[in-house]
Amino acid sequence: MKVDPKSDKKPTAMVWLRNDLRAHDQKSFALAAKSGLKVIAYYSFDPQQYKTTKWGFKKTDAYRAKFLIETLSELKKTLNGLNISLIVDNIEPATGIVNWVKTLNIKEIYFQKEWTQEERFVEDKLRSNLDSEINFHSNYDQFLFHPEDISFKLNDLPEVFTQFRKQCEKNSFVRQLSEEISPLSKENLLDQSFSIPTLNDLGLEIKKSNPNSAFPFSGGTSQAKLRIQHYFWETKKLSFYKQTRNGLVGVNYSSKFSAWLANGSISPRQLYWEIISYEKEIKKNQSTYWLIFELIWRDYFKYISLKHQNAIFYLGGILKKEYQWGNDLEIVKNWINGKTKESFVNANMIELQKTGWMSNRGRQNVASYFAKDLLLDWRIGAAYFESQLIDYDVHSNYGNWMYVAGVGNDPRDRKFDISWQAQKYDSQNKFQKLWLK
């Protein structure tokens, strides 16, 4: 292992990257840069995230992995410009970080706080593997409304979104962006470069991009900023977001920011303050508010998982309801492969299979059909979304699946009428014809 010979002498601060893959408005980097220590970053393509599930599909498949690889490739260049080395590993962090702690004299570890079960397991294992002399600094850096700034205790979190939203809008605020970090001394860089793995390295099949994809974008902060520039300032599509957000075909029916938000290429604060600038300079209307509304929904599912912890993964959900769920893998495969009796469901599932993307309207319909019509264990559907979706976010994914399955935060426990939905949102069969050729 070749490293800077000076690196083991000067105490070092490590920024352990997880779902916060950006250099700016990033609390861990801001704090580490102020520590006065040498600063390095670390990311692991943990093999546990690329294994095959018991249902026969990858835990993380090619579409999301490709977007992640692109994100890390760009972040590596950005950090290099700040004279911060990015260590890229391919073993579990609880082992990999320990190795680097010894090699680089790491004294401080900064990271974004996670609380769902797999992430907590990794953190707990890492802590147990390290000396007590190592200082851990975790921060809640993925929220729009920071947990310290909401007006109620976590145990009193409303179980209905509207109540949460109104309280946050009335009594909370969105923090300003974190201070920009300046380039550190070049002596901060390690005398070693780390390669980003390929899909093949991760045991995944390389898939060609589909010309009909509604998400033809690449990973990385600069790509997110290009999308903001296009959707807000060049085309002013933001002014019509509320009218178009239930669309099914094309790039611009929705904002598409969810993928960059999911892995932290941009923060919800960055997006929020860009919307505020747009409202001041261009136009403020229901559509500009509605994108903020969706950011609050995103926050809500994070707070729900923070409050209820592992219950979001339980069959009975946070309501502890007892339904009779099936798990026939042949029926699951037919749903995955778009071979159900509902062509609208089939079209959405084929789109997901071929692009790693599905509209919000499509997600609600296929999830409702899976849980309420096929009566299958909703967690299998949620796991398949985790595998395929470029914009997979554990809180939103499991929160939405619980919601639709009737074991979450929907007070009305609705079931979607798939035929009615297809007629309303795809009356000319344009979407279905696109994917069911």
The whole domain housing 328 covers 314-435
Predicted pLDDT of residue 275:
98
- Does pTM top 0.75 for this prediction? yes
Identity of residue 342: E
- Residue 407 token pair: 């074991």
Question: Looking up tokens 């611009």, which residue turns up?
Answer: 252
Neighbours of 215 (CB within 10 A): 22
CATH label of the domain that carries residue 125: 3.40.50.620
Q: Which of 109, 141, 173 is the last residue of a domain?
A: 141
Give, for 86, the enclosing helix (H) or strand (E): strand 85-89
Neighbours of 163 (CB within 10 A): 12
Whether residue 136 is found in the same domain as residue 229? no
Whether residue 258 is found in the same domain as residue 325? no
Would you call 385 exposed, middle or buried from its count of C-beta atoms within 10 A (0-12, 13-18, 19+)? buried
Whether residue 294 is found in the same domain as residue 269? yes
Give, for 85, the enclosing helix (H) or strand (E): strand 85-89
Residue 196 falls within a domain, yes or no?
no
Q: Which residues pair with 12 in a beta bridge?
A: 38, 106
Nearest to 28 by CA among 11, 40, 45: 40
Question: Looking up tokens 């972040």, which residue turns up?
Answer: 75
pLDDT along the chain (437 residues), means of 10: 51 97 97 96 97 96 98 98 97 96 95 96 96 93 97 94 96 94 94 94 93 98 98 98 96 97 98 98 98 98 97 95 92 98 98 98 98 97 98 98 92 87 97 95
Which DSSP symbol is given to 375? -
Q: Which residues contact 343 (CB under 8 A, 6 or more apart)?
A: 422, 432, 436
Separation CA 239–CA 290 (nearest Å): 10
Q: Which of 108, 141, 174 is the last residue of a domain?
A: 141
- Residue 81 token pair: 């410009």
Predicted pLDDT of residue 414:
83
Torsion 398-400-403-408 (CA) sign: positive
Q: Which residues contact 129 (CB under 8 A, 6 or more apart)?
A: 94, 95, 98
Residue 44 falls within a domain, yes or no?
yes
Whether residue 121 contacts residue 310, with contact meaning beta carbons closer than 8 Å, is answered with no
Whether residue 304 is found in the same domain as residue 321? no
Separation CA 100–CA 106 (nearest Å): 7
Whether residue 265 is found in the same domain as residue 377? no
> Max Cα separation, the chain?
68
Nearest to 139 by CA among 115, 118, 156: 115
Whether residue 304 is found in the same domain as residue 320? no
Residue 70 falls within a domain, yes or no?
yes
Separation CA 335–CA 358 (nearest Å): 14
Residue 101 falls within a domain, yes or no?
yes
CATH label of the domain that carries residue 269: 1.25.40.80
Whether residue 296 is found in the same domain as residue 402? no
Q: Which of 141, 164, 188 is the last residue of a domain?
A: 141
Q: Which residues pair with 376 in a beta bridge?
A: 326
Separation CA 71–CA 16 (nearest Å): 15
Residue 20 falls within a domain, yes or no?
yes
Separation CA 264–CA 261 (nearest Å): 5
Give the chain's domain count. 3
Predicted pLDDT of residue 366:
98
- Residue 97 token pair: 């970080």
Whether residue 141 contacts residue 20, with contact meaning beta carbons closer than 8 Å, is answered with yes
Whether residue 344 is found in the same domain as residue 395? yes
Whether residue 311 contacts residue 398, with contact meaning beta carbons closer than 8 Å, is answered with no
Predicted pLDDT of residue 411:
66
Neighbours of 40 (CB within 10 A): 23
Whether residue 241 is found in the same domain as residue 341? no
Whether residue 367 is found in the same domain as residue 418? yes
Q: Is 40 helix (H, G, I), strand (E, B) or coil?
A: strand
Whether residue 383 contacts residue 377, with contact meaning beta carbons closer than 8 Å, is answered with no
Residue 382 falls within a domain, yes or no?
yes
Strands 135-139 and 85-89: unpaired
Residue 404 falls within a domain, yes or no?
yes
Q: What is the b/e burial string over 278-311, where b = at least 16 CB atoms within 10 angstroms of the residue's CB?
A: bbeeeeeeebbebbbbbbbbbbbbbbbbbbbeeb
Which DSSP symbol is given to 11? -
- The DSSP result for 105-159, as a single string, is TEEEEEEE---SHHHHHHHHHHHHHS-TTSEEEEE--S-SS-GGGSSS-GGG--S
* Distances from the Cα of 334 to the Cα of 2, 61, 63, 79, 342, angstroms: 51, 19, 21, 44, 11
Predicted pLDDT of residue 412:
73
Residue 378 falls within a domain, yes or no?
yes
Strands 106-112 and 12-16: parallel
Whether residue 390 is found in the same domain as residue 410? yes
Whether residue 225 is found in the same domain as residue 324? no
- Residue 344 token pair: 């609208």
Residue 3 Ramachandran class (φ > 0 left, ψ -120 to 50 alpha, else beta): beta
